[in-house]
C-alpha cells in the first residue's frame, strides 16, 4: 500500500490559507482509493423548526482547519494509517424529500463500492435513513448508537413520513436495523406524551438519557453501549443537539440540560474495538452559531469518528 496522502502541512501553508476540505485533506479525486471518505450532505428540507443545516458541511469544514494529524486520546495518527479524503458534497434536490433520499442512498452506495467507509456531515437528520439503507445493503441490518436530544422515532409530522424526526422509525419498519442493538444517548426535554417512550421501546430502543450520563458517568455508559452492540456492525449517528446549547448553540432544535463536548468525545473514544461501519454528524445550523462553537465541536466529533474508523483500517492492514 502506498503511503496515504495527508493534510496540507501547516508549517508551510497557514491553516487559514489552505484548501477548504475537511481537515485540509486531499479531495477524493486526488487519491487512487480512500479507506475513509468525509462527505457533506447540504440538505435541511426535513426540519421542523429552525432551518439552516444545509450550510452545515461548509461550516464544519471551515472549523476543521485547526485539526492536527495526531489524536493523543486514541494514540493514533489517523491520516498516516488510513487514506482519508474529502468527497465533497452530495448535491440533492432541496424541493423534493423523496428524491433527495434516493439520491443520498445511491451516492452512499457509490462511494462505498470499493470498501470505503463514510463519515457524513449534514444536513438535517433526515439523511440518516438513506445512509442506513446503504449501510444495510453492504452489511445487513446494523446496530445503531444514536446521540441526540430527541428520539427521532416519531411516526409523522403533518402527515409527512420522511422528516428529521422520523428516520429511525422508518429504518426499523424497513428492517435495516438490528433491533437487538439499538440505543439512544443524551435524550432529554419535553415530549408529546408518554406514548412517545412506549412506541420507542416497542421499536427496540434502549435509552441513556442526559441525566443517566450525569449520574452514571461516561465510562459506565460507554461500557453498556459496547455490551449492547457486541461484535455487530454498528452505525453511529450524532445529532449535534445532543450537546447542551452552551456547547452547540448552532442547531435547529436546542434543548437545555445536554452533554458537554468533553463527555460526548469521551464516549466515542470508548468505542475503540467496535465494528463501526459508518457515521454521521448532523443538524449543525451555522446561522445560530457564534464564535464557531458548534462548528468546532462538530469538527472534533467528525475527527474522532474518522479516528475510530482508521483504527479498523490499521487492524486490517
**Given its phi and psi angles, is residue 90 left (phi above 0), alpha (psi -120 to 50 degrees) or beta?**
beta
User: What pLDDT, on a 0 to 100 scale, did the predictor assign at position 11?
Assistant: 86
Q: Mean pLDDT for the chain?
A: 97
User: What pLDDT, on a 0 to 100 scale, did the predictor assign at position 159?
Assistant: 95
User: What pLDDT, on a 0 to 100 scale, did the predictor assign at position 254?
Assistant: 98
Give all strands (DSSP E) within the chain, no chain letters: 36-41, 84-89, 117-122, 142-147, 177-187, 205-209, 233-239, 275-282
Residues 242-263 have a mean pLDDT of 98
Residues 110-120 have a mean pLDDT of 97
Cell of 9: 502541512
Per-domain residue ranges for the chain?
Answer: 15-316
CA atoms within 13 A on the CB side of 83: 19
Quote the percentage of the chain above a pLDDT of 90. 96
- DSSP letter string over 166-188? SHHHHHHHTT-EEEEEEEEEEE-
**What is the Cα–Cα distance from 262 to 37, expressed in whole angstroms?**
25
Distance of CA 85 to the CA centre of its chain: 16
Instruction: Give tens-digit pLDDT for 151-182.
Output: 999 999 999 999 999 999 999 999 999 999 99
Q: Looking at the predicted structure, is the pLDDT value of residue 315 above 80?
A: no
Residues 39-45 have a mean pLDDT of 98
Residues 235-241 have a mean pLDDT of 98
* Cell 412517545, located at residue: 196
User: What pLDDT, on a 0 to 100 scale, did the predictor assign at position 308?
Assistant: 98
* Greater pLDDT, 18 or 63: 63
Residues 70-95 have a mean pLDDT of 97
Q: Looking at the predicted structure, is the pLDDT value of residue 1 above 70?
A: no
Cell of 21: 476540505
**What is the Cα–Cα distance from 261 to 186, expressed in whole angstroms?**
12
Q: Cβ–Cβ contacts within 10 Å for residue 207, how many? A: 16
Residues 14-31 have a mean pLDDT of 95
Provide the 8-state DSSP code for 117. Answer: E
Cell of 84: 482519508
Q: Any idea which architecture 15-316 has in CATH? A: 3-Layer(aba) Sandwich (3.40)
pTM above 0.75, yes or no: yes
User: What pLDDT, on a 0 to 100 scale, did the predictor assign at position 303?
Assistant: 98
Residues 6+ away with beta carbon under 8 Å from 276: 117, 234, 235, 236, 305, 308, 309, 312
Give residue 317's pLDDT band: very low, low, confident or very high (50, 70, 90).
low
Give residue 3's pLDDT band: very low, low, confident or very high (50, 70, 90).
confident
Residues 110-137 have a mean pLDDT of 98
Q: Cβ–Cβ contacts within 10 Å for residue 72, how many? A: 8
Instruction: Give tens-digit pLDDT for 193-225.
Output: 999 999 999 999 999 999 999 999 999 999 999
Amino acid at each position: 500500500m502506498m503511503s496515504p496522502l495527508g493534510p496540507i502541512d501547516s508549517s508551510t501553508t497557514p491553516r487559514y490559507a489552505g484548501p477548504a476540505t475537511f481537515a485540509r485533506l486531499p479531495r477524493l479525486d486526488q487519491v487512487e482509493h480512500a479507506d475513509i471518505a468525509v462527505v457533506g450532505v447540504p440538505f435541511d428540507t426535513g426540519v421542523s423548526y429552525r432551518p439552516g443545516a444545509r450550510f452545515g458541511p461548509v461550516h464544519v469544514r471551515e472549523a476543521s482547519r485547526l485539526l492536527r494529524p495526531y489524536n493523543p486520546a486514541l494514540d493514533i495518527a489517523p491520516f498516516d494509517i488510513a487514506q482519508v479524503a474529502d468527497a465533497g458534497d452530495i448535491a440533492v434536490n432541496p424541493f423534493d424529500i423523496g428524491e433527495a433520499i434516493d439520491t443520498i442512498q445511491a451516492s452512499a452506495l457509490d462511494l462505498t463500492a470499493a470498501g470505503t467507509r463514510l463519515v457524513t456531515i449534514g444536513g438535517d437528520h433526515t439523511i440518516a435513513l438513506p445512509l442506513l439503507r446503504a449501510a444495510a445493503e453492504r452489511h445487513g441490518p446494523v446496530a445503531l448508537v444514536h446521540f441526540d436530544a430527541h428520539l427521532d422515532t416519531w411516526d409523522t409530522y403533518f402527515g409527512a413520513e420522511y422528516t428529521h424526526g422520523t428516520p429511525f422509525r422508518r429504518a426499523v419498519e424497513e428492517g435495516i436495523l438490528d433491533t437487538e442493538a439499538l440505543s439512544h444517548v443524551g435524550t432529554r426535554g419535553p415530549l408529546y406524551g408518554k406514548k412517545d417512550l412506549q412506541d420507542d421501546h416497542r421499536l427496540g430502543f434502549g435509552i441513556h438519557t442526559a441525566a443517566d450520563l450525569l449520574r452514571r458517568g461516561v465510562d459506565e455508559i460507554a461500557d453498556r453501549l459496547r455490551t449492547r452492540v457486541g461484535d455487530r456492525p454498528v452505525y453511529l449517528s450524532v445529532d449535534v443537539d445532543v450537546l447542551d446549547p452552551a456547547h452547540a448553540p448552532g442547531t435547529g432544535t436546542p434543548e437545555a440540560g445536554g452533554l458537554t463536548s468533553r463527555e460526548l468525545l469521551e464516549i466515542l473514544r470508548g468505542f475503540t474495538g467496535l465494528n463501526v461501519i459508518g457515521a454521521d454528524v448532523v443538524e449543525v445550523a451555522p446561522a445560530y452559531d457564534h464564535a464557531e462553537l458548534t462548528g468546532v465541536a462538530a469538527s472534533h466529533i467528525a475527527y474522532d469518528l474518522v479516528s475510530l474508523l482508521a483504527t479498523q483500517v490499521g487492524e486490517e492492514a
